C-alpha cells in the first residue's frame, strides 16, 4: 500500500498493524529578521525542515519547499527524491549503499556525473570579501549586501545548480549555528534539484589550538582543541587518537561536514619538509598505527547512529593523504610550488612510503574496513614509474594510481586529486598557481582526461564542469561512447557510496540548537586538553630543575616576530610581544621584567624557519633561486650539498640543476636564538627553561648548553606548557622523529629513508632520537618505547 503524505502528523494504515509516524518541525531562520527577498526566494524551500521517524529505521529529514514527497510502503516512509511517485532503488534505505549507488549512477546524465567529480574551491561561511576565496551576495560583498551569514553566496548557488557540484570544501565558519543554517540552506537547494543528491561537505583539519586561550574545566569552547598531528603522534597512543577521531567526527557532523580531508600519513623522512608538521612523524609503524586509529575514529558510527557495517549518521569519510607519500621532496622543498615538484628516492625506499596506507588506512580494525577516499600528492615521484617511465604528478600517473593503488593494493574507494592540479602554472614560487606538474603543455581538458584515465575519480578545487565534459568527449572519440560512459559510472558509484553510507540521503539537515551544544562541549574540550598535556615532550632536565616551584619569580623575555610571509604567501606583521598569555602565567608564577629579581627564566621559541628553499629575489637577479633549507637558527653555508640535483626541470626555468651547493641561509626567526643567549647572560647562571613549539626537527647544539631544561610541544595551548612546567602534570610525550646533530648529517641523509641521521647528544649524554622523552624520573622506557623503538632499530 502506498500513499503520499504532506501532513506533519499522520497515521499509516496498511495490511500490517497500525504504525504512527511522528513528524517534528524545526523552524529554520534563513534571512535574519526580514522575510526572504526575491533574490533569496529559493530559501523558502528550507523554511521548515520536516522529520519523520521510522520504526526500526532511519529518521528522514526533508525541506517542505523542496518539492519532494514521502512514499509510504508497509508502514515505512521513504523520500521520493526524483519526484516520480515511485520508490526507486536509490531511495530505498533498506538496500545496501552499493546497490543504491549503482542504481542512481545509472540514471545520471554525463553532466550530472561531471558535477559529482568536481570538488569546490575553498568556501568560508560567510564568503570572504576579498582574496582567493571571495564571494558575493547579489553581486555585492557580504558586508555590503545585508545578507544573512548563513545565506548561500552567488558562486555557491551557481556551482551547486549549474555545475551540479555536490562536494564542498568548508573553511572558516562564523559559528556552529551559522554552519548548521548554511548547511540546511545548501541541502534544501540541492534536494529540490535533479535527483536530490545531497551535498557532501568537507573540511581540512580544524581542531588546532589557540595558543593563548585558557582552558577551564567544565567550560565549553568554539570547537575542541587538540595538539597538532605531530602532537597526536607524540603521545604514541593509538587509542587516544581514535577517541580524537570520534569526537572530531561528532563535531564535524554537527557542522554539516561529512568528509575529512585527513589524515596526512606521509612519512616525514625528509626533516626539512615544511609539511612535516601535518604528519605523524617519520616512522612507518607509528604512522600506520596512529593513522589507522584516526580513520577508525572518524569513520565508525557508534550505538544507534550506526546504519550498517560501522557506517552511519555519526560517520565522517576520511580522505587519507597523500598517496604514494609526499615526504621526500628533494632538499625538503614542497610541491605546492613549482620549485618543489620533485620527490626523490636516493635510498630506493619508494615502497616503504606505502606502509601507512596499505597496512593502516586500508586495513582498519573497525567495521568500515578501509579509508573511503585517497588523495595523491602534487609531487612527481621521480623515476618511479616502472611501466610508462613518465615523470608526471601523481594524479596523472597511471602506474601510481591504476597499477599500484587500484590493481596491486585493490583499492576501490574514491581517489581525489589535490587542489588545482589541472590549472596552468604561472610562476614557480606562487602558492595559488596551477600545479599541473609534468603535463604543463597539455590543455586543461586534456589534463582532466589524463587524470581520469590514470584512475582518479575527482578533481580537487574545480567548480567548473566544462573541462570534465570535454574529457568525456575525448574519451568517446578515442575509445567509444560505451567505454567512457562506463568509466564515468565507476567514479559516480564510488562517489555516491560515500554519500549514502553516512546517511545524507535520509537526513542531511541539522538542528542549530544541537549544533551549538555539541561543538566545543565541555567533555570534548577536556579530552582535547588532556591530549595536549600527553603530547608535550621533555628533552632536558638538568639537576631536576623541573618541575618548578609555584609562585616563584620568573622572567619571560618578549619575542620578536620579523615581518615576512607565511607558507601561503600572506603577510606576517612585525611585532614584539610576550610569547604566552601573561595573565595565564600569573596563575602559576610571579612575573618580573628584571632578570636580577627572577628565580627562573622561561624562554618561549619556535623551531627554526629558513623558508621553503627558494629565493625569488635571487632568481630575479639572474640566479637559479634555489637555496638551502636549514634546521638551525644561525647562518648555514651549504658546502656539501648534492651537486647536481637528482631532479629538475620546469617550463618556466632554463636549467635543470636545482642544487643550492655553496649558498648560505639563516633563520627568519634567528632572534629566537638571540633571545636564549641574551637571557643566559642576563640570568647570570640562574636556571633557564626553554619551551619550543616544534614544526620540524631542530639542531639543538646551538643553544642546549646554555639552558637547564627543554620541553617541546607541537602546537598546544600555553596553559598546557605551564601545567607541565609547574608539575601539575608529568610529561609523557616522545619524539616522533630524530633531532639531527648538525646540518652535515641532514645533507647526508636520504630524503626517502627514516631514522638515517646522526642524532644530537646533549650534555647529560641523552640522544634526542626517535621515541626519546623524559619524565620526572628520567628517560622514559615503557611499552610504547619497547614497541616502536625496537621496530625502528630493525
Question: For residue 564, is pLDDT > 80?
Answer: no
Question: For residue 523, is pLDDT > 80?
Answer: yes
Nearest one of 397, 441, 440, 434 to 415, comparing CA atoms: 397
Question: For residue 14, is pLDDT > 80?
Answer: no
In angstroms, the Cα distances linking 61 to 25, 64, 223, 436 are 10, 10, 26, 41
Helix 466-479, helix 481-501: angle, nearest 10: 140
Rounded to the nearest 10°, the torsion over CA 391, 393, 395, 398 is: 0
Nearest one of 589, 587, 588, 606 to 597, comparing CA atoms: 589
Q: What is the DSSP string of 666-715?
A: --TTTHHHHHHHHHHHHHTTS-EEEEEE-SS---GGGTGGG-SEEEEESS
The pLDDT score that the predictor gives to residue 548 is: 98
The pLDDT score that the predictor gives to residue 751 is: 98
The pLDDT score that the predictor gives to residue 476 is: 98
Find the range with the poorest average confidence among 13-22, 75-84, 376-385: 13-22
The pLDDT score that the predictor gives to residue 209 is: 81
Torsional class of 479: left (φ above 0), alpha (ψ -120 to 50), beta (otherwise): alpha
Q: Is the peptide bond before 788 cis (omega within 30 degrees of 0)?
A: no
Question: For residue 11, is pLDDT > 90?
Answer: no
The pLDDT score that the predictor gives to residue 794 is: 63
- pLDDT tens digits, 636-651: 999 999 999 999 999 9
- pLDDT tens digits, 682-705: 999 999 999 999 999 999 999 999
- The cell 568500515 sits on which residue? 368
Strands 778-779 and 774-775: antiparallel
Phi and psi at residue 646, in whole multiples of 5°?
-70, -35
The grid coordinates of residue 723 equal 601545567
pLDDT band, very low/low/confident/very high, at 771 (cuts 50, 70, 90): very high
Rounded to the nearest 10°, the torsion over CA 742, 745, 750, 754 is: -70
Q: Are 335 and 378 in contact (CB under 8 A)?
A: yes
Whole-number percent of the chain with pLDDT over 70: 93
Three-state SS letters, 293-313: HHHHHHHCCCHHHEEECCEEC
- pLDDT tens digits, 731-751: 999 999 999 999 999 999 999
What is the rounded distance in angstroms from the CA atom of residue 185 to the CA atom of residue 177? 12
Q: Which helix (H) or strand (E) holds 59?
A: strand 59-63
- pLDDT tens digits, 710-735: 999 999 999 999 999 999 999 999 99
- pLDDT tens digits, 662-675: 999 999 999 999 99
| 622-660: b (≥16 Cβ within 10 Å) or e | eebbbbbbbbbbeebebeebbeebbbbebeebeeeebbb
Could you tell me what percentage of the chain is helix, strand and coil, using 3-state DSSP and rounding each to the nearest 5? 35, 20, 50
| Contacts for 410 with CB less than 8 Å, ≥ 6 apart | none
Nearest one of 83, 57, 59 to 70, comparing CA atoms: 83
- pLDDT tens digits, 362-400: 999 999 999 999 999 999 999 999 999 999 999 999 999
- pLDDT tens digits, 407-464: 999 999 999 999 999 999 999 999 989 999 999 999 999 999 999 999 999 999 998 9
| Contacts for 95 with CB less than 8 Å, ≥ 6 apart | 89
DSSP-derived secondary structure letter, 503: T
CB atoms within 10 A of CB 101: 24
Q: Which helix (H) or strand (E) holds 122?
A: strand 122-125
pTM: 0.93
| Contacts for 620 with CB less than 8 Å, ≥ 6 apart | none
* Structural Rg of the chain based on CA atoms: 27
Question: For residue 174, is pLDDT > 70?
Answer: yes
Question: For residue 32, is pLDDT > 60?
Answer: no
- The cell 544541537 sits on which residue? 514
The pLDDT score that the predictor gives to residue 567 is: 63
Strands 709-713 and 19-27: unpaired
What is the rounded distance in angstroms from the CA atom of residue 497 to the CA atom of residue 396? 24
Strands 122-125 and 167-173: parallel
Question: For residue 25, is pLDDT > 70?
Answer: no
- pLDDT tens digits, 280-330: 999 999 999 999 999 999 999 999 999 999 999 999 999 999 999 999 999
> Where does 331-386 show beta strands of DSSP type E?
342-343, 373-376, 380-381
Entry field: residues in the chain = 794
Q: Are 279 and 353 in contact (CB under 8 A)?
A: no
Nearest one of 390, 387, 401 to 451, comparing CA atoms: 401
DSSP-derived secondary structure letter, 401: I
Tell me what the mean pLDDT of segment 602-620 comes to. Answer: 97
CB atoms within 10 A of CB 558: 12
Q: Are 340 and 647 in contact (CB under 8 A)?
A: no
Question: For residue 40, is pLDDT > 70?
Answer: no
Question: For residue 211, is pLDDT > 80?
Answer: no
The grid coordinates of residue 707 equal 639552558
Question: For residue 39, is pLDDT > 90?
Answer: no
Question: For residue 239, is pLDDT > 80?
Answer: yes
The pLDDT score that the predictor gives to residue 37 is: 29
Q: Are 324 and 269 in contact (CB under 8 A)?
A: no
Rounded to the nearest 10°, the torsion over CA 696, 333, 791, 355 is: 130
Q: Residue 577, class by beta-carbon neighbours within 10 Å (0-12 exposed, 13-18 middle, 19+ buried)?
A: exposed
DSSP-derived secondary structure letter, 779: E
Tell me what the mean pLDDT of segment 220-229 comes to. Answer: 91
The grid coordinates of residue 579 equal 610569547
Beta pairing partners, 601: 555, 688
The pLDDT score that the predictor gives to residue 71 is: 96
Question: For residue 42, is pLDDT > 80?
Answer: no
Q: Is 164 helix (H, G, I), strand (E, B) or coil?
A: coil
Question: For residue 218, is pLDDT > 80?
Answer: no
What is the rounded distance in angstroms from the CA atom of residue 371 to the CA atom of residue 357? 9
| Contacts for 99 with CB less than 8 Å, ≥ 6 apart | 89
Q: Residue 179, class by beta-carbon neighbours within 10 Å (0-12 exposed, 13-18 middle, 19+ buried)?
A: buried
- pLDDT tens digits, 110-161: 999 999 999 999 999 999 988 878 999 999 999 999 999 999 999 999 999 9
Q: Are 559 and 567 in contact (CB under 8 A)?
A: no
Q: Are 683 and 595 in contact (CB under 8 A)?
A: yes
Amino acid at each position: 500500500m502506498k500513499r503520499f503524505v504532506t501532513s506533519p502528523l499522520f497515521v499509516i494504515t496498511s495490511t500490517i498493524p497500525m504504525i504512527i509516524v511522528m513528524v517534528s518541525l524545526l523552524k529554520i531562520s534563513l534571512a535574519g529578521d526580514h522575510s526572504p527577498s526575491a533574490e533569496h526566494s529559493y530559501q523558502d524551500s528550507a523554511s521548515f525542515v520536516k522529520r519523520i521517524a521510522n520504526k526500526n529505521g532511519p529518521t528522514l529529514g526533508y525541506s517542505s519547499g523542496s518539492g519532494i514527497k514521502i512514499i509510504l510502503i508497509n508502514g515505512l516512509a521513504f523520500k521520493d527524491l526524483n519526484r516520480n511517485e515511485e520508490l526507486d532503488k536509490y531511495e530505498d534505505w533498506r538496500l545496501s549503499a552499493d546497490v543504491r549507488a549503482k542504481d542512481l549512477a545509472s540514471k545520471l546524465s554525463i553532466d550530472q556525473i561531471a558535477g559529482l567529480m568536481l570538488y569546490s574551491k575553498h568556501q568560508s561561511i560567510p564568503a570572504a570579501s576579498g582574496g582567493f576565496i571571495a564571494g558575493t551576495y547579489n553581486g555585492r560583498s557580504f558586508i555590503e549586501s545585508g545578507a544573512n551569514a548563513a545565506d548561500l553566496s552567488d558562486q555557491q548557488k551557481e556551482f551547486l545548480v549549474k555545475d551540479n557540484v555536490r562536494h564542498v570544501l568548508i573553511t572558516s565558519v562564523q559559528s556552529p549555528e551559522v554552519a548548521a543554517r548554511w548547511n540546511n540552506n545548501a541541502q534544501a537547494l540541492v534536494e529540490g534539484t535533479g535527483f536530490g543528491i545531497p551535498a557532501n561537505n568537507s573540511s581540512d583539519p580544524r581542531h588546532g589550538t589557540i595558543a593563548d586561550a585558557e582552558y577551564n574545566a567544565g567550560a565549553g569552547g568554539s570547537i575542541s582543541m587538540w595538539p597538532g598531528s605531530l602532537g597526536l603522534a607524540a603521545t604514541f597512543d593509538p587509542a587516544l587518537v581514535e577517541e580524537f577521531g570520534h569526537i572530531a567526527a561528532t563535531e564535524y557532523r554537527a557542522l554539516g561536514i561529512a568528509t575529512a580531508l585527513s589524515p596526512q600519513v606521509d612519512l616525514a623522512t625528509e626533516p626539512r619538509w615544511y609539511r612535516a608538521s601535518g604528519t605523524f612523524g617519520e616512522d612507518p609503524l607509528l604512522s600506520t598505527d596512529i593513522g589507522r586509529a584516526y580513520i577508525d575514529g572518524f569513520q565508525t558510527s557508534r550505538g544507534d547512529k550506526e546504519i550498517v557495517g560501522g557506517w552511519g549518521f555519526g560517520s565522517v569519510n576520511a580522505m587519507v593523504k597523500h598517496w604514494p607519500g609526499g615526504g621526500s621532496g628533494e632538499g625538503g622543498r614542497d610541491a605546492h610550488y613549482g620549485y618543489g615538484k620533485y620527490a626523490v628516492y636516493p635510498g630506493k625506499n619508494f615502497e616503504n612510503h606505502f606502509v601507512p596506507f596499505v597496512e593502516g588506512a586500508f586495513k582498519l580494525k573497525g567495521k568500515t574496513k578501509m579509508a573511503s577516499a585517497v588523495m595523491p600528492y602534487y609531487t612527481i615521484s621521480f623515476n618511479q614509474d616502472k611501466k610508462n617511465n613518465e615523470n608526471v604528478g601523481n594524479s596523472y600517473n597511471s602506474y601510481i594510481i591504476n597499477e599500484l593503488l587500484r590493481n596491486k593494493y585493490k583499492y576501490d574507494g574514491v581517489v581525489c586529486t589535490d587542489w588545482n592540479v589541472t590549472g596552468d602554472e604561472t610562476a614557480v614560487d606562487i602558492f595559488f598557481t596551477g600545479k599541473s606538474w609534468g603535463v604543463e603543455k597539455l590543455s586543461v581538458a586534456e589534463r582532466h582526461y589524463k587524470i581520469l584515465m590514470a584512475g582518479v575519480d575527482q578533481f580537487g578545487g574545480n567548480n567548473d564542469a566544462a573541462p570534465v565534459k570535454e574529457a568525456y568527449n575525448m574519451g568517446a572519440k578515442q575509445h567509444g561512447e560505451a567505454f567512457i560512459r562506463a568509466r564515468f559510472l565507476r567514479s559516480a558509484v564510488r562517489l555516491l557510496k560515500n554519500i549514502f553510507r553516512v546517511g545524507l540521503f535520509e537526513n542531511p539537515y541539522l538542528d542549530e540548537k544541537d549544533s551549538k551544544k555539541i561543538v566545543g562541549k565541555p567533555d570534548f574540550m577536556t579530552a582535547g586538553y588532556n591530549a595536549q598535556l600527553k603530547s608535550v615532550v621533555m628533552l632536558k632536565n638538568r639537576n631536576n630543575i623541573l618541575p618548578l616551584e609555584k609562585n616563584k619569580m620568573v622572567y619571560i623575555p618578549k619575542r620578536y616576530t620579523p615581518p615576512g610571509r607565511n607558507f601561503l604567501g600572506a603577510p606576517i606583521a612585525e611585532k614584539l610581544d610576550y610569547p604566552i598569555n601573561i595573565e595565564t602565567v600569573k596563575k602559576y608564577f610571579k612575573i618580573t621584567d628584571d632578570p636580577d629579581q627572577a628565580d627562573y627564566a622561561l624562554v618561549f621559541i619556535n623551531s627554526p624557519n629558513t623558508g621553503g628553499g627558494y629565493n625569488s629575489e635571487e632568481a630575479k637577479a639572474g640566479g637559479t633561486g634555489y637555496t638551502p633549507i636549514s634546521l638551525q637558527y644561525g647562518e648555514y653555508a651549504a658546502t656539501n650539498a648534492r651537486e647536481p640535483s637528482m631532479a629538475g626541470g620546469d617550463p618556466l626555468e632554463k636549467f635543470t640543476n636545482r642544487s643550492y651547493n655553496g649558498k648560505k641561509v639563516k633563520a627568519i626567526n634567528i632572534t629566537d636564538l638571540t633571545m636564549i643567549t641574551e637571557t643566559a647572560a642576563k640570568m647570570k647562571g640562574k636556571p633557564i627553561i626553554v619551551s619550543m613549539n616544534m614544526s620540524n626537527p631542530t639542531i639543538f647544539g646551538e643553544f642546549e648548553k646554555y639552558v637547564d631544561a627543554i620541553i617541546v610541544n607541537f602546537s598546544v595551548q600555553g596553559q598546557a606548557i605551564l601545567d607541565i612546567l609547574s608539575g601539575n602534570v608529568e610529561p609523557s610525550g616522545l619524539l616522533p622523529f630524530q633531532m639531527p646533530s648538525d646540518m652535515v648529517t641532514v645533507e647526508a641523509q636520504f630524503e626517502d629513508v627514516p631514522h638515517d641521521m646522526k642524532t644530537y647528544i646533549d650534555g647529560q649524554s641523552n640522544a634526542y632520537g626517535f621515541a626519546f622523552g623524559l619524565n620526572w624520573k628520567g628517560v622514559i622506557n615503557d611499552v610504547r618505547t619497547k614497541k616502536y623503538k625496537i621496530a625502528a632499530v630493525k
